[in-house]
Amino acid sequence: MGRIGRVILAGVLVAVGALAAHAENWPQWRGPFFNGSTTETNLPTTFSRTENVLWAAPMPGMSGATPAVWGDRVFVSSVDEKTRRLAALCLDAATGKVLWQRETGEDRETARNNMASPSPITDGKTAWFFYGTAHLFAFDFEGNPLWTRDLETDHGHNAVMFGYSSSPLLYGGRLYVIAIRNARQNRYGKAPAADSESYLLALDSATGKDLWRQGRPTDARDEAQEAYSMAVPYTWNGRSEVLVYGADYLTGHDAATGKELWRWAGYNTTHINHWRIISSPVVAEDLVFVPGPKYSRGFAVRPDGAGALGEKSVAWTFDRMIPDASTALYYQDRLYVLEDNAKVMTCLEPKTGAPKWQLELPAGTVLRASPLGADGKVYCMSEAAEVFVLAAGDEPKVLHRVRMSDREAGERNLSRSSIVAAGGRLFIRTAESLYCVGRPAAK
């Protein structure tokens, strides 16, 4: 597949210049600290489709995938709307020029979603691209293929109603992939595999070979068996764990072996059958914030035991404005929870769950993207590419609001990618373009 169209430069192209004194990379979906935050500074508060835009690159189609950024490279997953083929792209971070583009399979039709929803990952040498088809690709930085896997062929069909879209986790040299899937229904165009139990899978990131697979049994019913969440690392008492959330349980697994160490069952004890999970858990010090499904309630769990964890493991609960899809942000000792349908941001004290403030965002559509914390600000975006910049802190304040697209949100025009900060710049992926926003270099 050829390169996507020409890069549109906003205004006069100038050298980006020296990066921020302490520039972070953004290696995977929730960033360098797995919680949506970064130490980036000197980011612009105000911008538009022309103001403070260093470059804008057209995208071949819609994708909910969040870009990964490392040094001078930006990695993007997409669908090509013309061919309905999946694509892996690498762009120059300074200019937006497409350095290489690789075809990665065929898209599958699903309601308001596509197979390019999982986010790419990089470690500075390799870029991994995963898709809702469960195909996993590894490329070097020049675009040369290193290895590929078809996890559905090897581990069974990922039956979920709205298209499999969990992003892998890169942690300790391993890629962790979760498949929380429906083992009992046959309404997805494929029959469940004979071995259709949900699982946590660890792969060698250098070779793609399976290191181990840990089954994840559940007594959840119907759609509640399904999840779109991502595995998250957690360290307790010197022990490295991987957290898996969905199918009525939060579970902790030994990062080296996959062995289940504990499980908590507090959010759907009556096994309501349509409570699927979309949001991922967020670690805040020694607590794990777990947003319950479909606006139920949120829980802060302290998983300091073994086996089945009970009510004593719940440090606090939160009953107002729980998100359906977006994942919470932990930034500067505060927890930011975005209720995406009601368009309300809540700032919580993470140790106690006490609300510091709630703010209704004047968005025209829902917000599915997860918030970013950077440079003393919180950034979030609606499906119509309305970007809100909030002050991070104890007082609610909207610093800036701007629409980054002139197209109406629709079935094939939904902006769901989370905003990224890396190298002193913001990367804003709308349905049709990738914007690089930053302060122009001094002349």
Q: Is residue 46 part of a domain?
A: no
Amino acid 220: pLDDT:
94
- The reply to whether the predicted model has a pTM over 0.75 is yes
Q: How far, in Å, CA of 403 to CA of 163, rounded?
A: 28
Residue 376 located in a structural domain: yes
Q: Measuring CA to CA, how many Å separate 354 from each of 4, 263, 283, 302, 395?
A: 48, 26, 17, 17, 14
Q: What are phi and psi of 399, to 5 degrees?
A: -90, -30
pLDDT at 185: 55
Q: Extract the tokens encoding 315.
A: 């440090």
pLDDT of residue 413: 78
Domains identified in the chain, total number: 1
pLDDT at 127: 98
The pLDDT, as a whole number, for residue 322 is: 86
Asked if residue 20 belongs to a domain, the reply is: no
Residues 6+ apart with CB under 8 A from 73: 90, 91, 92, 93, 99, 122, 127, 141
Contact of 196 with 181, CB cutoff 8 Å: yes
Query: Which domain does 107 fall in, by range?
Result: 53-437
Q: Give DSSP secondary structure letters for 106-128.
A: E---BTTB-TT-SPPEE-SSEEE
- In whole angstroms, give the CA distance from residue 345 to residue 267: 22
Q: How far apart are CA 276 and CA 326, in angstroms?
A: 14
Give the CATH number, domain containing residue 69.
Answer: 2.130.10.10
Give the pLDDT confidence score for residue 408 in this predicted structure.
Answer: 73
Please name the helix (run of DSSP H) or strand (run of DSSP E) that holds residue 155, with its range, or none.
helix 151-155
Structure confidence at residue 1 (pLDDT): 42
Cα 53 → chain centroid: 24
Contacts of 294 (CB under 8 A, 6+ apart): 274, 275, 324
| Ramachandran area for residue 358 (φ above 0: left; ψ -120 to 50: alpha; else beta) | beta
Q: What are 169's two structure tokens?
A: 């986790």
Whether residue 111 is contained in a domain is answered as: yes
User: Is 151 in a helix, a strand, or coil?
Assistant: helix
Q: Which contacts qualify for 236-243: CB closer than 8 Å, 24 or more apart?
A: 236/286, 236/303, 236/304, 237/304, 240/172, 241/303, 242/169, 242/171, 242/176, 242/200, 243/281, 243/283, 243/288
Name residues of the chain where pLDDT drops below 50.
Answer: 1-21, 186-188
In a domain, 40, yes or no: no
Residue 88: other Cβ atoms inside 10 A: 26
Instruction: Name the strand (E) or helix (H) holding 153.
Output: helix 151-155
Classify residue 197: in a domain, yes or no. yes
pLDDT at 440 (0 to 100): 80
d(CA 44, CA 65): 23
The Cα–Cα gap between 366 and 343 comes to 6
- Say if 2 falls within a structural domain: no
> How far apart, in whole angstroms, are the C-alpha atoms of residue 112 and residue 34?
26
Q: How far is CA 1 from CA 61, 181, 367, in A?
A: 14, 32, 32
In 3D space, the residue among 38, 112, 51 whose CA is nearest the CA of residue 329 turns out to be: 38
pLDDT tens readout for residues 70-86: 999 999 999 998 999 99
Between CA 181 and CA 187 the distance in angstroms is 12
Position 3 in a domain: no
pLDDT, tens only, 332-353: 999 999 999 999 999 999 999 9
